[in-house]
Structure 1
Amino acid sequence: MATPGAQDGVPVPRVSRYTAAAGAARSARPNHRWLDVVAVAVVAALGGLVFGGWVLFQQHQKDDAAKEALAAAQNYVLKLTNLDSEAVDARFADIMDGSTGEFNDSYRKSSQQFRQEMVQRQVHTRGSVVAAAVKSATPDKVVVLMFVDESISNRDSSRSQLDHVRIKVTMVKLNGRWMARKVQLL
């Protein structure tokens, strides 16, 4: 007995109506696989943009910190190297106000003796920053290297003595201000 729909004695496989319905539903549904690929690509691109933006922002913060701290360090070194025995107290107050930590402590300890020597000998110093560069920088700490020419005169010498000094200054940002934490002669 032949199956309905069979021709020439070749049986035609029976297809259940459930199998036929599932195949029809599958072919009626659009293929969304390409949408999944696009979604993954968009998420990856957005992630890359966010990361790139964050890296640029971090670099911008370091660059701004370096620029600000470099200017503050140069101004601070000018205060240190331009002293006048007649205005020593005001200059020392400026120096103390612009420092913190290790340098502030050591300067405070030696300032009375240093002040006395300056006044007795009528010392005058004039300094200028010849060159300065940032060695390293983070948003709140910058290390600056400087070459400074300093002319020193006093009542005992008719001629000024010129010194070429290399200075390393560690600047830190406290309460929005750049302050010298460490000053080293190199």
Structure 2
Amino acid sequence: MSAAVDLGKKPDADASAERATTGPADSGAADSGAAADAGSVVGDGDGGRAGTGFGGPVLTAVLAVLVAGLVAVVAVLGWQVKQHSDIEAAGRAAKEAAENYAIALTSIDSQNLDEDFAAVLDGATGEFKDMYGQSSAQLKQLLIDNNATGEGTVIDSAIKSASEDRAEILLFVDQTVTNSAAPEPRIDRSRVLMTMEKVDGRWLAAQVDLP
């Protein structure tokens, strides 16, 4: 009876051993599957982060291009504003010089002709200066013979065109004239178009027309 009992219990021991052997293996397989699933999840998360990271350099490059373009636009606008300001300043300086020259040109006194002519030549340049210098001797004699005097006044003036070194100035000038033939003063009104050029930092009359 004892032997029969032992034989009956042996299969149970074998089954327990089998369960002990297969149990951990199945658990390892399950753990592997779970690890694989976890790896898949982690991989997907990394992929999402990688996509976001790729956008960073692209965005930085786009911003850099936009900033560079903005800087270029601001630089161009700044240069244009400065150039416009420089031209306006040049026009004002040329206009002031033209007004002073118009007074010098129309104000004469037969008793001080040398000084008057020197002032006219000093404020002129180019062909106009040459022409005036060549005719000055004859003009002086004519003024002396007629005991002529003149006093000029600029009534109004305007800038017709201007650049940094050249300008056209329109002037309205009244000249009060006396001479031996007409001792009573009379007023001659003239419209003068004067071309001014900047020479060695000075605005000089390069051409004087009576349009």
Does TM-score exceed 0.5, indicating one fold?
A: yes
1:129 — aligned with what? 154
SS in 2 for 1:31: helix
Deviation of 1:31 (Å): 1.4
Distance 1:150 1:119 in 2: 18
- Structure 1: gaps (5+ residues): 1-19
1:75 partnered with 2:100 = yes
Match for 1:139 among 156, 159, 164? 164
In 2, distance between residues paired with 1:28 and 1:51? 37
Matches within 5 A, 1:54-65: 54-65=79-90
Confirm whether residue 109 of structure 1 aligns to residue 134 of structure 2.
yes
Q: Give the C-alpha shift of residue 155 in structure 1.
A: 1.4
Q: CA deviation at 1:28?
A: 7.1
Secondary structure of 2:173 counterpart: strand
Q: Which 4+ runs in 1 deviate beyond 6 A?
A: none
Amino acid at match of 2:68: V
Deviations along 1:36-72, one digit per CA (max 9) or x if unpaired, are 2211111111001100010011011101101111110
Closer/same/farther in 2, CA of residues 28 and 61 from structure 1, 3 Å limit: closer
State the secondary structure of the residue aligned to 1:107.
Answer: helix
Partner of residue 75 from structure 2, selected from 28, 50, 71 = 50
> What SS does the aligned partner of 2:93 have?
helix
Aligned to 1:31: 55
Is 1:159 paired with 2:184?
yes
How many aligned positions are there?
168
What are the superposed Cα offsets for residues 70-105 of structure 1, whole Å, 9 maximum, x if unpaired?
110000000011100000111101110110002101
Q: Distance in 2 between matches of 1:116 and 1:59?
A: 47
TM-score relative to the length of structure 2: 0.75
The yes-or-no answer on 1:90 pairing with 2:115 is yes
Aligned residue in 2 for 1:182: 207
Partners of 1:145 and 1:50 lie apart in 2 by 35
Please point out which of 194, 197, 201 is paired with 1:169: 194
Q: 2:144 aligns with which of 101, 119, 124?
A: 119
Superposition deviation, residue 133 in structure 1: 0.4
Structure number with higher helix proportion: 2
What's the CA shift string for 1:115-165, capped at 9, x where partnerless?
000111110001100000000000000110000011111012122221110
Amino acid at match of 1:148: V
Percent sequence identity is: 34
Aligned-pair distance for 1:27?
A: 3.7
Q: TM-score, normalised by structure 1?
A: 0.84
Structure having the higher strand fraction is 1
Distance of 1:134 and 1:68 partners within structure 2: 10
- RMSD in angstroms over aligned alpha carbons? 2.1
Secondary structure of the structure 1 residue equivalent to 2:108: coil
Going from structure 1 to structure 2, the CA distance change for 1:135 and 1:155 (only over 3 Å counts) comes to same
The structure that has the greater radius of gyration is 2
**DSSP-derived class of the 1:45 partner:** helix
